[in-house]
Structure 1
C-alpha cells in the first residue's frame, strides 16, 4: 500500500467511524456551559484514547470483555441526565464553570470514548496489519480529521444563518442524543444482556 492509498484509507476509516461525532460536537458547541477550548481538548483526548486502545487491541481484548467495556455507555447517559436536570442553571456562575474546565474537557473525552467503542473493533485489525510508517500516517491523518470535525461543528453552530437554529436545536436535542448514544453502547456491547443474565443467576 503506497502513501496515497494509505492516506485514502485513513481518511475513509476516520470519516466512516466518526460521522455521529459531528452531531455530538454540535451539541457541545451549542451548550454555553462548555467553552471551545474544553471541547477541543476533550475531543482530541478522547480520540487519542481510542487510537491507543486500538493499538493495544489484542491485549485489551484479553484483559476486558466487551460487555465490561460497554459500561462506558453510562458516561453519556449520566451527562445527558445531568443536562436535563440542570437546564434551569444554564445562566449560572461563570466562575464556577471555569473552575470545572478540566472536568468538562474530561466529560467530552468520556463521551467520545463511549461513542467510539465500535471504533476500537474496526481500527484494531487495520492497525494490526499495518507497518510502523503507515501507523504514523494514520495517527497524523486522524489528528487533522479531528481538527476538521471540530472546525465544521463550530462553523455550523456559529454560521450567520444556520447558527441560531442549530444552537436552539442542539441545546434541546443534546441530552437525548447523549442518552441515546449511551443506551446504544450498552446494548451493542452486550452489557444489558450480560447484566440481565447476571441478575437472573444471582
Structure 2
C-alpha cells in the first residue's frame, strides 16, 4: 500500500511539475476567476486519466510482461524532455487562451494539451496495476490535483518563491520519468523478454 502511494505520488509530481507554471499563469491572469481555474483543471485532468484507463485495457489480452514494455514510453518522454532542455527549449509551454472562449473549457483544454504526454506515462502504470492499486493511485492523483491548485494559488502571490522552481524544476522531471519507466519494466518482469537467451530459436 505504502509503495503504491509512493509510486503514485512520484508519478503525479514528475508528470505535472510543468503544470504548476500553467496554473500560475491562469491564477495570475485577471480574466480568470479562481473557481474557473479549479474546475477547468479538474476537468482536464479527469480527461487525461480517463483516456489512460481506457488505453490500459490492453492488459486484458496481453501478459503483464508484454504490457510492462509500455514502460519505455515514459523513458522516451523523459529522454525527449532532456533533449528539449539541452536545446534550450520546452514544447510543454502553454499559451494564454484567446478572449471569448469559455474560461473553464479553456483551462481544461490547455490542461489536456499540456498534459498529453501523461497518457503515455499513466497507461502502463494502470495496465500493470490491480484494481485496488488503481483506486489508491486515483486517490493520490485527486489529492495531488488539490495540492497543486492550492500551492499554485498561494505561490502566485509570492513570485520570488517561484523563481528557483522555474530555474531548476524542469531538470528534475526527465530523470523522474526515466526512473518511473524503468520501475514499470522491472516490476512487470519485462526484462526477461529483453534477454536474447529467452527468445525462441529455430532448429536449423
TM-score under structure 2 length normalisation? 0.58
Kindly provide the CA deviation profile for residues 6-64 of structure 1, in whole angstroms up to 9, marking residues without a partner as x: 0000000000000100000000000010000000001111111000000011579xxxx
| CA RMSD, Structure 1 to Structure 2 (Å) | 2.6
Whether 1:31 aligns to 2:26 is no
Q: Structure 2: how far apart are the matches of 1:42 and 1:128?
A: 27
Which structure has the highest helix share of the two? 1
Q: 1:128 is matched with which residue? A: 127
Q: Structure 2: how far apart are the matches of 1:58 and 1:8?
A: 21
**1:107-126 map, 5 Å:** 107-126=106-125
Q: Structure 2: how far apart are the matches of 1:58 and 1:125?
A: 7
Whether 1:40 aligns to 2:38 is yes
Q: How many residues align?
A: 129
Report the Cα offset of residue 157 of structure 1: 1.2
Question: Secondary structure of 1:158's match?
Answer: coil
Structure 1: 5+ residue runs without aligned partners? 61-72, 87-96, 167-202
Q: Structure 2: how far apart are the matches of 1:138 and 1:46?
A: 17
Structure 1's consecutive aligned runs of 4 or more residues displaced over 6 angstroms after TM superposition are: none
Report the Cα offset of residue 5 of structure 1: 0.1
**Are 2:56 and 2:126, in contact at CA under 8 Å, matched by a contact in 1?**
no
Structure 2: 5+ residue runs without aligned partners? 59-90, 164-204
